[in-house]
Amino acid sequence: MSSTEATTATTTVAAPTVVPVALGKRGYDILIGPGLIDGAGEELARRFPGSRYAIITDETVAEHHLDRLTGSMTDAGLDFTTVELTAGEGSKSFPVFESAIDCVLSARLERGDLLIALGGGVIGDLVGFVAGVVRRGMRFVQMPTTLLAQVDSSVGGKTGINTRHGKNLVGVFHQPSLVLADTSALDTLAPRDFRAGYAEVAKYGLIDDPAFFAWLEANWRDVFSGGPGRIEAIATACRAKAHVVKIDEKETGPRALLNLGHTFGHALEAVTHYDGTRLVHGEGVAIGMALAHEFSVHMNLCSPDDAARVKAHLEAVGLPTRLQDVPGGVGTAEELMQAIYQDKKVKRGRLTFILTRGVGKSFIADDVAPDVVKAFLGEKLRG
């Protein structure tokens, strides 16, 4: 070792955590770590030599993170255009879908070129769908900037938009070619959005990883404040999701476990008319998971202690857990049941629920009697 080298000050950038999604020809890597947006240009140049790009983002994300990305891509000599959409769920719609496609085609991108989804689940779902249909499928990169997107929506290839008949009813399965989850990008996220995403993190513990749930109970403050625990939590969640996606890419079986808390959660989103000022997705999921555990207690499947423990943890991080927590109320048990029936996971009148035998012991129950659910909801509404 020469003395010059020995005395040079060096910045240590920790290598990102890599979680592979093993889907054969459709496989890809999830890279997790701070500062990945700043290093994106180099990473892209290395992985996709000769390709051109269209970055699609929303205005809020653009304000905080777009310059870092375009700067990095310019430094790496990459050729790209940028499209900024309105922030919010409203962009998962036919008109925005059509105009995003028009932008991509105007940029003359070819099949081997890539779209970049820089944003939360809304941008990821929309851009993934656009990538899935332009020229019958072009490649795309997920750069998730919300916690929900980093641990859930950016991984697994579900894409889509909403219609007046319900959310996510139109879309395709289309896997990204790379996911770059820049964990420091979450620092600018609204606390409420961070918490909402945390509900999905906790979900992976509750599905089948009790040790992870216990770890979260001990370390959630570090996850929220951006310590090393954040990377670890996100990586654990991504590994869990990658595993489920690998064994059931098209959601014909076990992937349904990822819907823990979601049947109730979706119903709550529906009865509050997807009004994010009242309830965001992750909050619905938090209440839904608490209810799924309580319903499992009601069905004599789960101990009351486990249900209480789940509720206590969600409340500790500031998430809602009761129907009464939703501002403006959630209507009657009958209205909730109607919303449950509308949910696309309902098949031919029988209800599919994710139930549980305790923390980390969830399972798919595909023949739950609607009457029992309704009675349970009636009880919960009475307090």
Ligand X SMILES: NC(=O)c1ccc[n+]([C@@H]2O[C@H](COP(=O)([O-])OP(=O)(O)OC[C@H]3O[C@@H](n4cnc5c(N)ncnc54)[C@H](O)[C@@H]3O)[C@@H](O)[C@H]2O)c1
Residue 245 to residue 23: CA distance in whole angstroms? 8
Q: Which is nearer to ligand X, 120 or 261 (CB)?
A: 120
298: annotated binding-site residue? no
Site string for ligand X, 150-179 (x = CB under 6 A): --xx--x-x--------xx-----------
Q: Which is nearer to ligand X, 278 or 374 (CB)?
A: 278
**Neighbour count for residue 67 (Cβ, 10 Å):** 11
Residues 116-175 that bind its own copies (CB under 8 A): 129, 132-137, 158-160, 163-166, 169-173
Q: 48: part of which helix (H) or strand (E)?
A: none
Which range binds its own copies by CB under 8 A, 57-65, 179-187, 289-297, 344-352? 344-352
253 binds its own copies (CB under 8 A): no
Nearest residue to 43 via CA among 56, 31, 55: 31
CA dist list (Å): 205 to 216, 234, 258: 8, 12, 11
CA dist list (Å): 370 to 227, 353, 356, 377: 44, 11, 18, 11
254 binds its own copies (CB under 8 A): no
Residue 158 to residue 101: CA distance in whole angstroms? 18
122: annotated binding-site residue? yes
DSSP notation for 249-305: TTSSSGGGGGGTTHHHHHHHHHHTTT-TTT--HHHHHHHHHHHHHHHHHHTTSS-HH
Q: Residue 148 binds which one of ligand X, its own copies, none, with CB within 5 to 8 A depending on kind?
A: ligand X
Q: Which is nearer to ligand X, 280 or 336 (CB)?
A: 280
148 binds ligand X (CB under 6 A): yes
Residue 104 to residue 78: CA distance in whole angstroms? 16
Residue 158 falls in the annotated catalytic set: yes
Tell which one of 38, 89, 113, 209 touches ligand X (CB under 6 A). 89
Per DSSP, the three-state class of 368 is: strand
Residue 341 to residue 314: CA distance in whole angstroms? 27
Residue 262 falls in the annotated catalytic set: yes
The two tokens of residue 246 are 């690998």
Catalytic residues: 136, 158, 200, 241, 251, 255, 259, 262, 266, 281
- Annotated binding-site positions: 121-125, 145-146, 158, 167, 200, 262, 281
State the residues that interact with its own copies by CB under 8 A. Answer: 94, 98, 101-102, 105-106, 110-112, 129, 132-137, 158-160, 163-166, 169-173, 250, 344, 347-348
**Positions that interact with ligand X (CB under 6 A):** 58, 60-61, 64, 87-89, 92, 119-123, 125, 145-146, 148-149, 152-153, 156, 158, 167-168, 185-186, 188-189, 193, 281
